[in-house]
Structure 1
Amino acid sequence: MSPTTPLPPSSPPLPSVLYSSGHIPARDRFGHWRELLSSTHAPMELRSDHSDDFRARQRVIRLGEVTVWPAAFPSVVFRRPQKLIRQSDPETYHLTLMLRGGGVAEWRDKTLRAGPGTFHTSDSSRPVEIRSFAERDRILMIGVEVPKAVLPLPRRLADRSVGLPIPDDRGVGDLLARLLRRLVRNLPEYGLADGPGLGAVIAHLAATALAQAVENDSALPQHTRRVTTALRIRAFIEQNLGDPGLSPAEVAAAHHISTSYMHRVFRHEGVTVGTLIRRQRLERARADLGDPRRAGEPIQAIAARWCLTASEFSRSVRATQGMTPGEYRRLALRAESGDRPHPGEGRSPH
């Protein structure tokens, strides 16, 4: 099981705390959110034109030593001067995935304008002022806190990367952005045991994104390069499952690596690339079987969409579900509609 695969719903949920200002008197909302943000990120000075009725929502998700916090709030100015750094410094790097709205971050020696399409980065040990601008009355963002001691990148390089633009729609930035969106969107599907693994993956992706910002991938530890390569390959496979030419050789060529190196990478993953391609195709086809929108589509057509023959798809469904694809479809669609079958109904005779 990969670190980004949700555990069954029966497992304990990921630890998270939801804050919403709705139940707090209007005059106290801004101060309350400032205290929450300071405990999540680092002590800061905040001001806002909406401080008399600051409507904010924030969830804090603990993933081992890494923290993720999606938030929605009005326009606000953040300041972290040297005096607050001397008082308290959690020594973390912060990345912000902007979903709506934007902002301008100013350090002593550089300025970064960020909005959807670009990660904003900062360093809790460096003075900064960030002026954020809401769109449609709210800023939507996902923040990530990675302790400096956890980030697998030399400190001097990580420091140089702060304030540089990191695209969130291509390369490793895209991988990190999609992982954060999926985590926040599907949070109930992840279990407690997923937390440390997810945190480690986010730290590896963050380190790689920061290293690429200063064009020094070679400084990354071998383990981080291997983890990031495996994640990029998994994402590539997921996006190209319908391509009949998808093969281990094509995957390696698309990533400019040799097939032998790719196989060494996936030896640590406990699965071969060929097996991964076949497994994901079977999972997609099986999901289509239970999709009410495809109820009238021939099973052979579903198999063909995912580059499978009808016979191999049928064998897989029989082996994993103990029934034919047609029987599995009827049960799945009946469960989707809330009509529970009688015990044993639809089972294939042995």
Structure 2
Amino acid sequence: MPVSVTTADGRAPDGDVVTHRLGAVTVSAIASGAQYVSHAPVRWPGVNGPDLVVLLHTHGSTTYRWRGDDVLAGPTVLLMHDSAQRCSLSYEGPFTAFVLRVPARVVGLSAEQLGPVAGTALPTTGGTAALLASLLPAVTSAAGWAPRVGERLGAALVDLVTLLVLEHGASETVQEGPRGELVRRVRAYIDQHYRDPSLSPESIAKAHHVSLRYLHRVFEPEELTVGRLIQRRRLEEGARELARPGRRAVTVAAVAQLCGFTNAAHLSRAFRRLHGCPPLEWRSRALGRSGAPGGAGRVLARPSVAGR
């Protein structure tokens, strides 16, 4: 986030900044002296949307100005800022602070949806704010995290920021708009990658920079879980392949490999559960050997889904 920093005597401020990248998020530890910081939104090439910026002071305080209002932020509050908005921070003396930057697109929030939490100081005496206040110094002060650990920590921080917004009045926006958007993106991702045997809820969560727990929670209102959605997509494609004219010589093992199943037995078990018959019988019926109607890829029998 581009900022301009000035001091009363015109000198460059002394201090230290340590920054770590944790998956989709960035965490920084800052120790410096009296200064004035101003931020004006800038669109950088390749940058997609604003960031949510969470600021925690463990020593010292600042006067935060946003939309003409002044907020005093010290060690007992989390300051939430929308990087798409202009702001300033005025420090009268030395301070230490921790900064968490989360792309709004990862949480599923637009600049207009930040509403009640943008530009506010949230008490760290309880709830999600207290969890973030205890976690930020720990994840930022470490010398470095292994990539896999860092990605998981980043996903956990995204979840906590989402919960923070939910706690402070934007629950309908987060649950309806962004939830639906993430569901649509995951479905499209499955359509593009279902042939990959390694596709799983874990890999999908990683690709979308969210935790596995959050991904499952987003899909709770849906008919199918993420795992069942992957399997259903593979089975639909398998049914189409088996029913294609001129594919009688293609083995079940070949169809399984084409559709992302680990082996023919895996495909056969899943196919029987969904369609009530093994793949070869499906092929025979679909191609008209038994006299049953069946165009290429048509689902002849689809029992209702029992559970997820």
Q: TM-score scaled to structure 2, two decimals?
A: 0.52
The letter for the 2-side match of 1:164 is T
Report the AA paired with residue 79 of structure 1: S
Is 2:126 the partner of 1:170?
yes
Give the 3-state SS of the residue equivalent to 2:67 in structure 1: coil
Question: How do 1:107-256 and structure 2 match up within 5 A?
Answer: 107-134=66-93, 138-153=94-109, 155-185=111-141, 187-188=142-143, 190-213=145-168, 215-221=169-175, 227=213
Deviation at 1:80, TM superposition (A): 2.0
Alignment of 1:70-81 (within 5 A): 70-81=29-40
CA distance in 2, matches of 1:102, 1:121: 15
Instruction: Give the match for residue 24 of structure 1.
Output: none
For 2:130, the aligned partner's letter is D
The letter of the residue matching 1:64 is G
Partner of 1:103: 62
> Is the contact made by 1:201 and 1:227 (CA closer than 8 Å) also made in structure 2?
no
What does the per-residue CA deviation read over 1:135-186, in whole Å, with 9 as the maximum and x for residues that have no partner? xxx210100111111124454332442112211231000111111122134x
Gaps of 5+ in 1: 1-41, 229-350
Deviations 1:65-108, CA, capped at 9 Å, x for gaps: 20000110001111124xx5367876211110110111111122
Gaps of 5+ in 2: 183-209, 215-308
Q: CA deviation at 1:219?
A: 3.8
Query: Is the 1:85–1:127 contact (alpha carbons within 8 Å) kept by the matching residues of 2?
Result: no
How far apart, CA to CA, are the structure 2 residues paired with 1:184 and 1:87? 26
Question: Aligned partner of 2:150: which letter?
Answer: G
Secondary structure of the structure 1 residue equivalent to 2:106: coil
Amino acid of the structure 1 residue aligned with 2:171: D
Contact 1:150 1:203 in 2 (8 A): yes
Hey, which bits of structure 1, 4+ residues long, moved more than 6 A?
87-90, 222-226
Name the SS for the 2:98 alignment partner. strand
* Post-superposition CA distance 1:299-334 (Å, at most 9, x none): xxxxxxxxxxxxxxxxxxxxxxxxxxxxxxxxxxxx
Q: Which residue identity lines up with residue 206 of structure 1 in the other structure?
A: V
CA 1:198–1:50 in structure 2 vs 1: closer, same or farther (change >3 Å)? Answer: farther
Rounded Cα–Cα distance in structure 1 between residues aligned with 2:115 and 2:36 = 23
Rate the CA distance shift 1:175–1:102 in 2: closer, same or farther, 3 A.
same
1:85 aligns with 2:42: yes
Aligned counterpart for 1:57 among listed residues 16, 33, 47: 16
> What is the CA distance between 1:210 and its match in structure 2?
2.5
Q: Secondary structure at the match of 1:146?
A: strand
Contact 1:208 1:220 in 2 (8 A): no
Question: What letter matches 1:161 in structure 2?
Answer: V
SS in 2 for 1:180: helix
SS in 2 for 1:98: strand
Amino acid at match of 1:220: V
Structure with more of its chain in helix, by fraction: 1
Question: After the TM superposition, which residues 274-285 of structure 1 pair with which residues of structure 2 at under 5 Å, given as runs?
Answer: none
Per the alignment, in what secondary structure is the counterpart of residue 193 of structure 1?
helix
Larger radius of gyration: 2
The 3 A distance-change label for structure 1 pair 157 and 225 is farther
Q: Does the CA contact (< 8 Å) of 1:157 and 1:211 recur in 2?
A: no
Partner of 2:197: none
Q: Is the 8 A contact 1:77 1:129 kept in 2?
A: yes
Q: Does structure 2 retain, via aligned residues, the 8 Å contact 1:153–1:207?
A: no
Give the Å deviation of 1:62: 0.3
| Matching residue's letter, 1:123 | D
Match of 1:220, SS state, is helix
For residue 165 of structure 1, give the secondary structure of its aligned residue in structure 2: strand
TM-score, length of structure 1 as denominator length: 0.46
Question: CA contact under 8 A between 2:82 and 2:111: conserved in structure 1?
Answer: no
Matched residues in 2 for 1:190 and 1:48: separation?
Answer: 34
- Measured in 1, the distance between the counterparts of 2:90 and 2:77 equals 16
